[in-house]
Structure formats: C-alpha cells, structure tokens
Structure 1
Amino acid sequence: MEKDPRSKEAVQKLLEKEKKLYDEMKDAEKQEFDLDRLFNPYSDTRILYGDPEREITAILAGIDMETAEVLLAERLSSRGRRIDLIMAHHPEGKAMSALYQVMKLQEDVLNKFGVPINVAEGIMASRISEVKRGLMPLNHNRAVDAARLFDIPLMCVHTPADNHVNDFLQNLFDQNKPETLGDVVKVLKEIPEYAEAVKYNAGPEIVLGSKEKRAGKIMVDMTGGTSGSEDAYAKLAAAGVGTLVVMHIGEKHRKEAEKNHINVIVAGHMASDSLGMNLFLDELSRRGVEIIPCAGLLRYERKEHS
C-alpha cells in the first residue's frame, strides 16, 4: 500500500468503504462476500490454496505459475528440494476472475498526471466492463486444482508487485530526468533485470519515437491490472505527458498514442514483472525465506532498497 500510486490514506479509505458495505449487507449477501476485501485492497492478490498459518521457508516463485509449474514443484519436492509455497505473479483462480476490480486504480493514476478525475472515471468505466466480460469464460482454477491435488500451497501477488516496479521506475526517472528517449532506454538498461532481458531479445525498445527525440514529461504506466482505455492517450497528451514507459502495448493502444504524438517505450514484460516481484520477494528473503525462481522470473536480489 505504501508503494501504491494513490496515497496510503486513499487506499485505507477504500478498505473502510468495504467494511461499511459489509456491515450493511444481509446475512445471505455476507455468505458470498470475500472477507479478504476487508484488509486487502488488491483483488488480484490472494492465497488460492493452503493454510494461511503454514510456516514458509522456501518459495518456488515465477511470473506465470500454471499447472506445469505445479507439476514442476511436485517433481522438485520428490527429488528432495523443499518447496512450501508456489508464488505466481500473474493471477490465477478467484484472483484472475476479479482482476478487473483493481483497474479503478488507473483512474487515480490518470488524475495524478493531469486528467480530471471525472474524465478518468468516464473513460475507464467501459474498459473495466470490457475486461470483466473477457474474464468470464476463462478456466480460472486449473492451476489451483492441481495445487490442491498435490497439497502444495499456492498464492499470487499481482498489483502489489506492479506497484513496486511502477514506484521504483517513476522515482528513478523523476530523479534522473533523462532528456531523450535514448537516455530513458539507457537508464532502464542499467537496471539488472532489463540488462538481463536484453540477452533474451526482450529488453527495452522504443516503439514510438526515436532515440534523439526529447522525452518531455515521463509517465510510467505499469500498474492497475491490465491495459487501460485507448481514449486515455488524447487526455494524457492534453495534460502534457510526452513519453509513456510501459511493460507492453497492444496495437490499438499504440496507434492511439501515435495519433496523439506520445512517445512509447516498451520496457519489457517479463523484465518489468521480475523487477516488481524482486522488490517484493527481497522483503521475504530478508526474513530468511529461500526464493527459487522459475517461469520467467529474472531473479536479482537487492540487499537494501527503499
């Protein structure tokens, strides 16, 4: 919550609203309510299987932890490698089906960069509904069912990790003030996760603009569940945003950015997710928990970070 683009007070207020909503519910409605919502403001971050009180000493962690990775955990366990928990970044199970709920965070991010809150809420409403409908037909519980059959605890950490990478990079650019797009890419490539991704042809790339072009006002757009509204680019351009640094961008979104003369740098999906997860996992490592990386996680441990 301290790394959330919104203030901690604003996020706390959301939890208070959930408590009020729950208190006013009828008993039948309370039966269907996810009690995690009373203390956890991120619907895409949940314990999906396992006892919350279980002590954890070793975690198999990765970006996409699906049925194959559950089988990998079981295979490693059978060979004597201790694994107490599987931790995914991308959501599975009920966290996946509720992914759309965290997208309201994007309204506050747009507002922070100069888009009026009423406009931000307006352009995000239809996009949130679209994502909700898109999630409905998915087979959410495949990996969760596999974890249950092997009795291996499974959880996912999505928006909290994305908040970490968003905060880390935004602060970095605000402090360094890179002048050109080439300078932005240079700053990114000095970060171990992005430097490693370059070796896999998955490092930072300028997809709109050129390395000589001036960056102007830089906005890091890496949290809030999934891609936002295509209508946001015109509003961001009007608000003075010159360059977007993103994990990835769809073709429709790229065309809208191009139409509105906004530069776009794709930092890299796995590298960005790895940076966010590493900042989170480092806190567990400091408590003596062993981290076993797999499934796209480019593990780099920082001894100290704020």
Structure 2
Amino acid sequence: MMDTQQIMRAALKLANFKTIPADSEIHVKGRRIRKVLVAIDVGVGELMLAKGLGCDGVIAHHPAGGTARLEGYKVFRRHVEQMKEVGVPSEAAEQAIENKYRQLEIQHHPDNYDQTPSAAKKLKMPLVSIHSPCDEIGRNIILRQIKTLDGGATVDRLVRRISQLPEFRKAKSKIQVRLGSAKNKTGKIAISHAAYTNGGYDIARTYFQNGIGTISYIHISDTDLAKLVTDGTGNLIELGHIASDWLGLNPLLKELEKKGTEAVTTTDLH
C-alpha cells in the first residue's frame, strides 16, 4: 500500500526529477491506497468508474485540474534545456519557445480547473496528476532504445527500432514519418518529448537550423507540419500520443505493484 505522496515520489525518482513540476499535482491526498485507477485523461466519469471498480485512488496522466491545469504550460521551458543539450545556442532556444509559450498561457487561462478535483473531494477519492515525470521516463526509454544508432542510420531504421517497444507494437496509431523520407539518413537525432507538449514549428525549425537531422515528436498539428513541409528541411517522426504516454506510465505502475498497490488501467497498452 502507498499514499499519494509516495506515489508522486516514486514517479519523480524514476524520472530523475528533484521537485514536482508545474504540470503535476496531488489534488486530493490519500493514504493506504491498495487499488488505483490509472488513465491518460481523468474527469468525473473516471472518478465514478474508479468508485465502481472498488479503487481507493486515481492517477491521471494529463493534468486533471488545479494549478497543474492552469500553470502546467510552464514545463514547456524544458524545451530550452533539451535544445541546449544537443548544441542549440541558448539565445536561439529561448527565442524558439516564445510564441508557443505565450499561446499556451492564453489557451489554459479559461480552463475549468476546479471541476474534477472538486468532484474527487466530494467522492473522497484521492487524485494525483503525473504528467512530465512519466513523459521523461518514456523519453529515457526511447533514448536507451536508439543509443546504438548513428547518424548513418536511415529514418526507417529509427522507426523500426522504436517500434520494437511493446507499447508501440500494440498501438493502432503507428509511428509516422511526417517530414522527409524513411529512406533519408537520420543525421543527429533529437527526442523532443517531456516538455508539456510538442514544440511545434518554431522549435523544430530551430533544431534543423542547428545541426539536427531528425526530430521525434509525440504529436504535431497539421498547421505546424504544413509550415515545416514548405521549408523542406529535415526529417520528423510522429510516435503517436497514447502509446508514448503509456510507455512512460508503465514503469511507474510496475513500481506501484512492487509496493503493494494494484493498478487498474483504462487501456490494453499497459
């Protein structure tokens, strides 16, 4: 059995995070949690499902409300760190996040941040949101999976290597080459995940302008992709949102089960 703080600490430890990031939160504290419902998205329906299944806690991946919902966009600044790690100059990295960072703040300001946490309180259902820690766990799994590939490998080989992971094998939404060609050489690769959401056009363009040949996003909008296609530079693969999310959640679920907390999931991708 675990309490909500122990669940959060387990995720932070697996991700190598020292503090709880802005997109994660303990909304409703709880102790002696024996059985927990785990879902990518949690609303009142999932809370009721958890109640019906005899769960005594719920873990949401995407922020289910509270400060994590309103201010989670601040994690987008992790893109700066990731860009600098692969050689993008600090000034260029900072400029690349400006537009979308502002858009995200405006986008989330009107969110109904209170409904799901309030419902959880009324149901006396412990509720935790764990977003970027799990995304970072998944990102590190992918980095380990491709570490033996060099810049001479093809994009197709990169896709096949990542596709060997069980979550991607099971997924109906397969990894797609959205920009460039599967036959192209990858060049230097950037796994641009675990920074709240995808970097869109500006961050992808900045990577390409600074020596990166292939970028991996979990997802990308049609508008941003169209701009990149017009530029005609580099390769971009889209891994698929749900499989990528479960890739990072599954190690946490194994850790919970080691501690005596059963995880009930809303998918077969676990």
TM bracket (short chain): 0.7 to 0.9
- Listed as ranges, the gaps of 5+ residues in structure 2 are 1-11
2:145·2:162 contact (CA, 8 Å) conserved in 1?
Answer: no
Match of 1:271 among 214, 236, 243: 243
1:48 aligns to what? Answer: 27
Aligned counterpart, 1:109 = 82
Matches within 5 A, 1:38-187: 40-51=19-30, 54-77=31-54, 83-94=55-66, 95-177=68-150, 179-187=153-161
- 2:206 aligns with 235
Moved more, 138-147 or 100-109: 138-147
Query: Does structure 1 retain, via aligned residues, the 8 Å contact 2:96–2:206?
Result: no
Is the Cα contact below 8 Å between 2:88 and 2:207 reproduced in 1?
yes
What is the alpha-carbon distance in structure 1 between the residues aligned to residue 253 and residue 206 of structure 2?
35
Equivalent-residue separation in structure 2 for 1:2 and 1:84 (angstroms)? 23
2-side partners of 1:213 and 1:219: how far apart? 15
| Secondary structure of the structure 2 residue equivalent to 1:175 | coil
Post-superposition offset of 1:180: 1.1
Counterparts of 1:210 and 1:278 in 2: how far apart (Å)? Answer: 31
Alpha-carbon separation, structure 2, partners of 1:160 and 1:270: 16
What's the secondary structure of 1:225's corresponding residue?
Answer: coil
Secondary structure of the residue that 2:116 maps to in structure 1? helix
Q: Does the CA contact (< 8 Å) of 1:234 and 1:260 recur in 2?
A: no
Q: Computing the radius of gyration over CA atoms, which structure comes out larger, 1 or 2?
A: 1
Residues 96 and 135, structure 1, Cα contact 8 Å, conserved in 2? yes
* 4+ residue runs over 4 A deviation: 1-4
Identity %: 27
Cα distance change, pair 260–240 in 1 and its aligned pair in 2 (3 A)? farther
Alpha-carbon distance in structure 1 between the residues aligned to 2:194 and 2:143: 12
Q: Does 1:225 align with 2:196?
A: yes
Give the aligned CA root-mean-square deviation in angstroms: 2.0
Amino acid at match of 1:279: P
Query: Over residues 193-251 of structure 1, what are the superposed CA-to-partner deviations in whole Å (9 max), with x where a residue is unaligned?
Result: 00000xx3x12111122322221111111111112252223321122111111111112
Q: Is the Cα–Cα contact under 8 Å of residues 257 and 263 in structure 1 kept in the other structure?
A: no
Cross-structure match for 2:259? 287
Runs (5+) with no aligned partner, structure 1: 13-39, 78-82, 300-306
Q: Is the 8 A contact 2:61 2:131 kept in 1?
A: yes
Contact 2:219–2:241 (CA<8 Å) still a contact in 1? yes
What SS does structure 1 have at the residue aligned with 2:113?
A: coil
Q: Counterpart of 1:43 in structure 2: which amino acid?
A: A
Q: How high is the TM-score relative to the length of structure 2? A: 0.88
